[in-house]
Amino acid sequence: MNNLRTLSFLASRASEILTSRQFILLFGSVLAVLFTLTYSSLDAAPQSQFFTISTLGSQSAASYYPNDNLVLSQGDSVKWNVRVYNHMGGVEYVSVRVKLLGPSQYGPDDNLHVPSATVPLYEERHMVANNLTWTMPLDLAITGFDQASNTITSASINGKKVENLNISSNGGIRIIVELWRYDIEFQNFVFTWPAGADKIGSAWNQIWIETK
């Protein structure tokens, strides 16, 4: 009997609360706020999109040359690690292209986001997940050098032999490492990426060497 009375009291109290203007207004407001918050959280906030590319020594330290000597002779080799970090907000298929440039050849242009017009001697492609870094070992050796004309005639990059080169090294040689990404709409690799409203980005590294 007592229980029944308590139950009936609770039911009438609950009904009174649920039908009160106070509760209805509060419930409507909380519902609207939670709907808005949930909906906006489902739509992921746009993050800044970029790649970074860095070239480090073989022990992943910034020591680039054997015995810290940037002058390389025929048979000398350098071992570097090229690291590509993907912060594009999704998986990306990238291509790292290695070019050897003489002092009179143009490198990539940072302002116009144009790559060097020189043909790449080596290319490696890889798919990189978002927010991850891909490390590509780069082992470069000068296998042919004409001392009379101070010209590199052949090289080996990651074991791939590149013959018939004619790169004058008077004044130094630049090893250019360019980052290209696959553009699904264009169905090819492009040197740039969209970096927000009306902006594009590009990334490349260069390391100077001298030869003798």
Contact residues: other proteins, CB under 8 A = 17, 20, 22-23, 26-27, 30-31, 34-35, 38, 42, 90-91, 93, 95, 97, 112-115, 117, 120, 123-130, 159-160, 182, 184, 186-192, 198, 200
Of 95 and 211, which has the nearer Cβ to other proteins? 95
Of 47 and 130, which has the nearer Cβ to other proteins? 130
Residues 187, 34: Cα–Cα separation, whole Å:
42
b/e per residue 99-110 (b: at least 16 CB within 10 A): bbbbeebebbee
Of 9 and 35, which has the nearer Cβ to other proteins? 35
Task: Give kind and range of the element (H or E) at residue 170.
Answer: none
Q: Tell the smallest beta-carbon distance from residue 12 to other proteins (Å).
A: 14
Of 35 and 170, which has the nearer Cβ to other proteins? 35
In angstroms, the Cα distances linking 15 to 10, 25, 29 are 8, 15, 20
Instruction: List CB contacts of 87: < 8 A, sequence separation 6 or more.
Output: 47, 48, 49, 50, 51, 52, 130, 131
Q: Tell the smallest beta-carbon distance from residue 121 to other proteins (Å).
A: 12
Q: Tell the smallest beta-carbon distance from residue 182 to other proteins (Å).
A: 6
Of 7 and 117, which has the nearer Cβ to other proteins? 117
Q: Tell the smallest beta-carbon distance from residue 8 to other proteins (Å).
A: 18
Q: Which two tokens stand for residue 202?
A: 């590009």
Q: Tell the smallest beta-carbon distance from residue 146 to other proteins (Å).
A: 26
Q: Tell the smallest beta-carbon distance from residue 55 to other proteins (Å).
A: 20
Let me know: does 89 contact 116? Beta carbons within 8 Å.
Answer: no
Cα angle: 163, vertex 168, 171; to 5 degrees: 140
Residue 91: which of 124, 121, 126 has the closest Cα?
126
Count of positions (residues) in the chain: 212
Of 20 and 69, which has the nearer Cβ to other proteins? 20
